[in-house]
């Protein structure tokens, strides 16, 4: 099994064929070894077209969804990004190859710790991982040029809207039941003015927190 070839096949068959076009996103997906972020026993499934379990009832997202959501953020190399839901650390790794700095929040300490270790080992040194309730954002480093949430919220948390810079983009799964959502993109046009777009239907684990599901 040649994981390098499987990764290139994934980029072509799962991403490009489904319309992912942003060259920076495609390059990052080609570069980051997903196998480093999945449990050892599932390594052979690393480039499967699906989410995979990472422990604690959580998942590493399907490669296509990771790429689609990050493409929707319209990142530039100067951007400061906030990710809610570090999980395995894979999404943060992809973001770190495209943007300047990545801040990522995970509510489960064991997942945050494991992700930090992997990211350090791979030498991705522009990523900051913290344990906390990401539904409240990470106010100390705000504002962010882009915010991405990888867990489904009942509505867009107000703290995330506040922590977005004017001109910034937020992409988040939002739904009225905990495990079924629509991807929402918000653009902050002015301090008190947002433009909202609804995108594809998705299924994420719930965002559990003060401004998420209780
Ligand atoms: N981006 C991740 C990856 O690449 O592996 C996928 C993350 S998984 C789909 C969603 C993560 O969100 C889980 O690890 C879960 O513990 C976390 N989560 C749920 N609610 C959260 C909250 N309020 N703050 C931070 N993380 C949260």
pTM of the model: 0.98
Distance 77 CA to ligand 1 centre (A): 24
Distance 58 CA to ligand 1 centre (A): 7
Angle between helices 23-31 and 3-10 (to 10 degrees): 160
What are the residue numbers of the active site?
61
Q: Could you name the CATH architecture of 3-202?
A: 3-Layer(aba) Sandwich (3.40)
pLDDT tens sequence across 150-187: 999 999 999 999 999 999 999 999 999 988 999 999 99
Q: Does residue 104 line the site of ligand 1, with CB under 6 A?
A: no
Angle between helices 23-31 and 63-72 (to 10 degrees): 140
Residue ranges covered by each domain of the chain: 3-202
Q: Does residue 135 line the site of ligand 1, with CB under 6 A?
A: yes
pLDDT tens sequence across 9-60: 999 999 999 999 999 999 999 999 999 999 999 999 999 999 999 999 999 9
Q: Does residue 59 line the site of ligand 1, with CB under 6 A?
A: yes
């Amino acid at each position: 099994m040649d994981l390098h070839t499987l990764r290139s096949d994934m980029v072509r068959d799962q991403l490009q064929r489904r319309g992912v076009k942003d060259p920076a996103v495609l390059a990052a997906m080609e570069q980051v070894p997903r196998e480093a972020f999945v449990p050892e026993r599932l390594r052979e499934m690393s480039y499967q077209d699906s989410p995979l379990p990472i422990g604690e009832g959580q998942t590493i997202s399907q490669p296509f969804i990771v790429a689609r959501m990050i493409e929707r953020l319209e990142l530039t190399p100067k951007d400061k990004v906030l990710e809610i839901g570090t999980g395995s650390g894979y999404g943060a790794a992809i973001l770190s190859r495209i943007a300047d700095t990545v801040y990522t929040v995970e509510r489960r300490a064991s997942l945050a710790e494991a992700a930090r270790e992997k990211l350090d080992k791979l030498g991705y040194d522009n990523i900051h991982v913290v344990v906390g309730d990401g539904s409240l954002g990470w106010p100390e480093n705000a504002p962010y040029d882009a915010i991405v949430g990888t867990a489904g919220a009942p509505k867009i948390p107000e703290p995330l809207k506040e922590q977005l810079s004017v001109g910034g983009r937020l992409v988040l799964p939002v739904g009225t039941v905990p495990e079924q959502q629509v991807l929402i993109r918000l653009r902050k046009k002015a301090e008190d003015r947002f433009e909202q777009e609804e995108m594809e239907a998705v299924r994420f684990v719930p965002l559990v927190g003060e401004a998420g599901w209780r």
